Amino acid sequence: MSPAELSSNEAERLRAFERRGHDSLATSYHEFFAGVTALAINSILNEVHLHHGSRLLDVASGPGALTAEAANRGASAIGVDLSAGMVKLARRLYPTIEYHEADVEHLPFPDDAFDAVVCAFGLGHFPKPETAVAECVRTLSPGGRIAFSWWDDPSRQRIQGIFRESIAEIGVAALPDVPEGHNVFRFSNSGELLRLLEGAGLTGVRVVEHAATYIVPDIETLWCGGLGSLVLTGAVVTRQDQATQKLIRAAFERRASMYKSADGLNLPIAFKIGSGQRPT
């Protein structure tokens, strides 16, 4: 058993937490965090060698921007997401594109249905990532390509990092909804991401690291945007009493102020993209 593998009951508990959280935050996530995740879109599509006519599946498609960009480039693109709220939002934003509510472990598509499968920042939310990737590979045609992005370590991915460090400083308890064995940063380690993809039988596997800067106008925008986008991290903060929330906010403001510039907060953003090919 993998160190990160959860029991069936634990996996369902995490899945339900993720579904509820993304349902409730779909709109605020789109308004703030979609701009951050969009930094990876071009690189993800390049990794799967997208071309006109490619059949592409976007897993954990969220508000739908990656699926829509693939369609704009001439692909036959479909998005799936666990969250009904995210699917509803994506359909409203991109009404000409097909989006489905589905669990990554049970995709509603036949074998060999796609030339490319992509996933932008879903891995750390999956209760059983090995099962999830195997299911994605099942839907991939021989010779097809897969690309999954995930965040780098919080020390280099500062939106999550500032929140996480502030929470740790105050020392609040973990959420009971999230199983102790689930490590959201497991695939921030390039070796773990490589092993995941190689273990799914993919060839030519590689992990490429990316870095960028994202500008947020001020600390209040970052605070509200993060709480409205980061399902797990935000819940840790919002479930505390008012006194504890104020302590976290003070620690947060101190850390965030380090990134102030004339333009706002210049926040380092770092992520990895793991890719590979299904053998022919």
Tokens of 202: 């993919």
Distance set, CA 236 to CA 21, 80, 134, 210, 239 (Å):
12, 27, 31, 28, 6
- State the DSSP code for 275: E
Report whether 158 contacts 267 (CB < 8 A): yes
What mean pLDDT do residues 132-144 have?
98
Task: Determine how many CB atoms are found less than 10 A away from the CB of residue 22.
Answer: 23
In order of 163, 248, 252, the CA distances from 243 in angstroms are: 17, 9, 14
Long-range contacts: 87-90, Cβ < 8 Å, 24+?
87/61, 88/26, 89/26, 89/27, 89/30, 89/63, 89/64, 90/61, 90/62, 90/63, 90/64
Tell me: pLDDT of 4 over 70: no
Q: What is the chain's mean pLDDT, rounded?
A: 96
Residue 1 has what pLDDT?
A: 39
Q: Taking 60 as the threshold, does the pLDDT of residue 178 lie above it?
A: yes
pLDDT > 90 in the chain, percent: 94
260 φψ region: left (φ > 0), alpha (ψ -120 to 50), beta (else):
beta
- Domains annotated for the chain, with CATH where assigned, are 8-277 (3.40.50.150)
**pLDDT tens digits, one per residue of 33-64:** 999 999 999 999 999 999 999 999 999 999 99
pLDDT the model gives residue 105: 97
Q: What percent of the chain clears pLDDT 70, i.e. is strictly above it?
A: 99
SS3 146: strand
Range 83-100 average pLDDT:
98
Q: What tokens does 248 get?
A: 């976290």
Other Cβ atoms closer than 10 A to 71: 20
Please choose, from the candidates 42, 183, 66, 187, the residue with its C-alpha nearest in 3D space to the C-alpha of residue 119. Answer: 66
pLDDT digits (tens, 9 = 90+) for 142-171: 999 999 999 999 999 999 999 999 999 999
Q: What is the pLDDT of residues 203-232, one digit of tens each?
A: 999 999 999 999 999 999 999 999 999 999
